Structure 1
Amino acid sequence: MEQLKIKHASAMPAPTWSWLRMNDTEISLPAALARGGDIEIEAPDTLLDTASTFEGALAELQEHLDAKRTNATDDRACVRAAQMDQEGTGGRETSDGSLGDLDTPALSRYQKRATLEEVAGDVTRAFETGIGMDARSYLNFAAGETVTIATEAGSTGEATIRVTGDAGTTVAASIDAVAAPDSSLSLTIALDAAPGSSDDASSNQGPAGVIGSELRVFAGAHSHVDVTVYVTADAGFVAVDDSGYVLDEGARVQVRHIVLGGGVTATGMAADLRSDTARIDIDTRYLASGSERRDFNYVVRHRGKRTISNIIANGVLAGSSKKCLRGTIDLVHGCKGSEGTERETVLIADEGVENKTVPTILCDEDDVAGNHGATIGHVRPEQLFYLESRGVSSEDAEALFIRAKLEDAALSAPDERIRAAILRLGNRLIDGFAEELEGDAA
């Protein structure tokens, strides 16, 4: 089957050694898919009937930031070098053969781009999503239109977006969410495959279909935004979840990614903590079994003072599954008093899995804190021996870890439709999963 390839997707802002093959990923999508599937948006009219736009919110923030900027010249060496390179005068050797200005450093492409972006202070041009422009274009095309969900100042709103795929089709939702100052907005996005459409999952014809979501979020001053994304697609589907966030002063954002299904999933998120005291907390939980692939890319830019970010991931890998998680916390010049933390815990339930974890801290400021770490471990042989001595086979032991992840998601599901999707997925992985869980609950 002819494939459409999105190359260099979910790229790390500052690449590491290329031989590690972790700097980015390639997403292969069937080229012959028709638009189909189903999109449902459950939201009150007060959230949908709005004149607010994502672009308008960024423009208002830009005016506020420009009013606070001073005209003082930034004489740092990195700024001088970036501007010289931009003007085409970046050579260190002068016409008379001398070495010239040795105090002006040579910059990498990343350093040059980051420095010019910082000096410009342009919120719109700096906006990014976790997977990147090509994926954003594909998802917006598949969606056909972008729906804006917006709150009024001081109000509270809640919405659910359901994207359901069918075999042989591509379907995606494109959502702009704008939380006005001092308001609260809660979004739930469910990416699922239609029951029965996964019959193609075991075929050799490639992915049965594509489902996805493109989300842009603006969190106004002192607003609270809560976003939860569930991925429960069957094994024959590619699921692409791309998002970008901009936070104004004092905004609080909570993001949860619960990725349980899908043959190939790509989850990307970028956040711009543009104003002082903004905070974002990211909680990712994932499961991969069989030959499934999971790819995550998180980029958090601390630009405001005393901003806080937390990237916490917890997952189980079984079978011959593969997973890569890139987490980048960028402490940009000027973000004094900020703190970023990223931490991942991975349980490897089978020797055939492949796990890659790339925690990264970028820093161009003092008086900041960046923390990162990962805990990755197999089930110890003595633990397996103990279970086997009690009549639990290695396959059943693996199922215990998968069951725990699915049970946690099912018990915390926000509504019955999402819960039913998790139970359906559980039944595909573990015989009688739904019946046992319902029996335990009773």
Structure 2
Amino acid sequence: MGADVLSNVNAMPAPTWHRLDMNETAVELPEGLSFAAQVEVEAAAELIGETGAFDAAVAALQERVDAARAAGPADTRAILKAVDPDVDPADLDIPALSTYEHKAVRQEMANNVAEAFECGMGEQATAWLAEAAGKGAATVFAPTAGKRGQATVRIAGVDGAANVAAIDVVAPAGAAFDLTVSLDSPAAGSGVVGVVLRVFAGENAHVNVTSVHTLDDTWMALDDTGIICDEGAFVTVRHRMLGAGKSYTGLATDLRGDLSRVDVDTRYLAAGQDVRDFNYIVRHRGKKTRCNIDANGALMGESKKVLRGTIDLVRGCKGAEGTERETVLLVDERVENKTIPVILCDEDDVAGNHGATIGHVAADQLFYLKCRGLSQEAAEGLFATATLEETALAVEDETVRAGVGRLAGRLGIPYQEVEG
């Protein structure tokens, strides 16, 4: 296929600060890409589910959502009339709404789980990734209710191609599932390596997702995820975006069920002319839901990074709490960093927290290290080493660990091989 540009990628739900050019991005794909669809899956046979399992789980949830809505009191708020196309603009009892508010109110009225489902990179990118993976080619993991399972999916770069995996995880009530996704480039070349992942976590299910990027700088990484959490479900996402010339990561979570939770733990490195672009969206819809978005990274050379984090406290999520934090180490003065924490709120009795720490190594820490013979450059290099070694220790897969070692060698970062 010819050159393509994916528009409105990693778009913030509510745009802001237009002049800083950070509300969304456009992804220019390499010219002449073919679709490779060469994916390695390691999992027990009993974990492989049927096509359509994700949609079936969403439909079952929809039945319970509709029943709960029908049993509740009628909603007579004036704000609902504001989306009526025949509303009288002179009626001062009808509130004026922004474009974002119009969309949010219409979505709330529709009460449709499937229509509200989204992946973090946006509709166009998600559709392109699904096409690249191949129609009907999604790998479906469906662990048994009340039991634990694990799987690994490896996606390696194919020169001149887009090699993409489509993955669905459907964890029924009480199930536990661990998924590791590896985007790597063991062979020389250039192209796109990507994954589109959909996760449905049923009642009291626990899903752990670890995604590791160890690509060379001639490759582009596209990592797109959408999550739905039922009552009491808990999803943990660990993103280790360590390599790739350009990487785009999007994650959107619908905390639909009461007491559901998502934790996102992100570590990233960028060197040379690398680009790291993130978009995290967590929509709290259930009562007493929780989210934690925690990102830490180091920027070197002339690299660029954007991290958008949106916590959306939707009407009805009483008792919900969301927190987002980021720590960015600027190793070089030439780097460009944008950190955009956003909290949207349409409910009382909720809590939203955000904060960011951006800069060089703290003066007292640097003094301590210098007293022990380390220069500022060597001290800051320790953080990159720690990020790589932490990833290798956290992942049991030897192929992933080998990719971390290769990446350390390419970046010239001191690294001690981790044994299994």
**Conserved in 2, the CA contact under 8 Å of 1:52 and 1:178?**
no
The change in CA–CA distance for 1:386 and 1:306 in structure 2 (over 3 A counts) is closer
- Matched residue SS, 2:226: strand
Q: Counterpart of 2:59?
A: 59
| Aligned residue pair count | 417
- The letter for the 2-side match of 1:400 is L
Alpha-carbon offset, residue 398 of structure 1: 4.5
Corresponding position: 1:77 with 2:69: no
CA distances 1:65-93 after superposition (whole Å, capped 9, x unpaired): 111113633222221112x2xxx223413
Alpha-carbon offset, residue 37 of structure 1: 6.8
TM-score by length of 2: 0.94
Tell me which moved more, 292-301 or 151-160. Answer: 151-160
**Conserved in 2, the CA contact under 8 Å of 1:212 and 1:240?**
yes
* Mapped partners of 1:441, 1:155: distance in 2: 29
Alpha-carbon offset, residue 383 of structure 1: 7.1
CA distances 1:49-74 after superposition (whole Å, capped 9, x unpaired): 54661100000000011111136332
**Conserved in 2, the CA contact under 8 Å of 1:410 and 1:419?**
yes
Alpha-carbon offset, residue 161 of structure 1: 0.5
Q: Counterpart of 2:169?
A: 177
**Conserved in 2, the CA contact under 8 Å of 1:37 and 1:165?**
no
Corresponding position: 1:227 with 2:228: no
- The letter for the 1-side match of 2:323 is T
The change in CA–CA distance for 1:3 and 1:396 in structure 2 (over 3 A counts) is farther
Within a 5 Å distance, the mapping from 1:147-166 to structure 2 comes to 147-166=139-158
* Mapped partners of 2:373, 2:363: distance in 1: 15
Q: Counterpart of 1:98?
A: none
* Mapped partners of 2:95, 2:105: distance in 1: 13
Within a 5 Å distance, the mapping from 1:387-398 to structure 2 comes to 395-398=377-380
- Matched residue SS, 2:356: strand
Q: Counterpart of 1:188?
A: 180
Q: Counterpart of 2:241?
A: 259
Alpha-carbon offset, residue 393 of structure 1: 5.6
The change in CA–CA distance for 1:386 and 1:2 in structure 2 (over 3 A counts) is farther
- The letter for the 2-side match of 1:43 is A
Alpha-carbon offset, residue 244 of structure 1: 0.2
- In our comparison, the structure showing a higher alpha carbon Rg is 1
Gaps of 5+ in 1: 94-100, 198-207
Alpha-carbon offset, residue 381 of structure 1: 7.6
- The letter for the 1-side match of 2:125 is A
1:119 to 90, 106, 109: 109
TM-score by length of 1: 0.89
**Conserved in 2, the CA contact under 8 Å of 1:165 and 1:193?**
yes
Alpha-carbon offset, residue 195 of structure 1: 2.9
- Matched residue SS, 1:13: coil
CA distances 1:73-119 after superposition (whole Å, capped 9, x unpaired): 3222221112x2xxx223413xxxxxxx2121111111011011012
- Matched residue SS, 1:106: coil
* Mapped partners of 2:293, 2:377: distance in 1: 32
Corresponding position: 1:408 with 2:390: yes
* Mapped partners of 1:266, 1:312: distance in 2: 17
The change in CA–CA distance for 1:37 and 1:149 in structure 2 (over 3 A counts) is closer
Corresponding position: 1:306 with 2:288: yes
- The letter for the 2-side match of 1:132 is G
- The letter for the 2-side match of 1:92 is P
**Conserved in 1, the CA contact under 8 Å of 2:8 and 2:124?**
no
The change in CA–CA distance for 1:340 and 1:168 in structure 2 (over 3 A counts) is same
CA distances 1:121-176 after superposition (whole Å, capped 9, x unpaired): 10000000000111111111111121211122112111100000122111000011
- Matched residue SS, 1:319: coil
- Matched residue SS, 1:3: coil
**Conserved in 1, the CA contact under 8 Å of 2:2 and 2:33?**
no
CA distances 1:293-316 after superposition (whole Å, capped 9, x unpaired): 001100001001111111111111
**Conserved in 2, the CA contact under 8 Å of 1:38 and 1:165?**
no
- The letter for the 2-side match of 1:177 is V
Q: Counterpart of 2:355?
A: 373
Q: Counterpart of 1:268?
A: 250
Q: Counterpart of 1:419?
A: 401
* Mapped partners of 1:384, 1:65: distance in 2: 54
* Mapped partners of 1:184, 1:382: distance in 2: 43
- The letter for the 2-side match of 1:46 is E
Corresponding position: 1:107 with 2:108: no
* Mapped partners of 1:406, 1:105: distance in 2: 51
The change in CA–CA distance for 1:354 and 1:134 in structure 2 (over 3 A counts) is same
**Conserved in 2, the CA contact under 8 Å of 1:38 and 1:171?**
yes
Alpha-carbon offset, residue 395 of structure 1: 4.9
Q: Counterpart of 2:195?
A: 213
* Mapped partners of 2:324, 2:364: distance in 1: 30
Corresponding position: 1:92 with 2:89: yes
Q: Counterpart of 2:263?
A: 281
* Mapped partners of 1:372, 1:42: distance in 2: 38
Q: Counterpart of 1:202?
A: none
Gaps of 5+ in 2: none
Within a 5 Å distance, the mapping from 1:325-404 to structure 2 comes to 325-379=307-361, 395-404=377-386
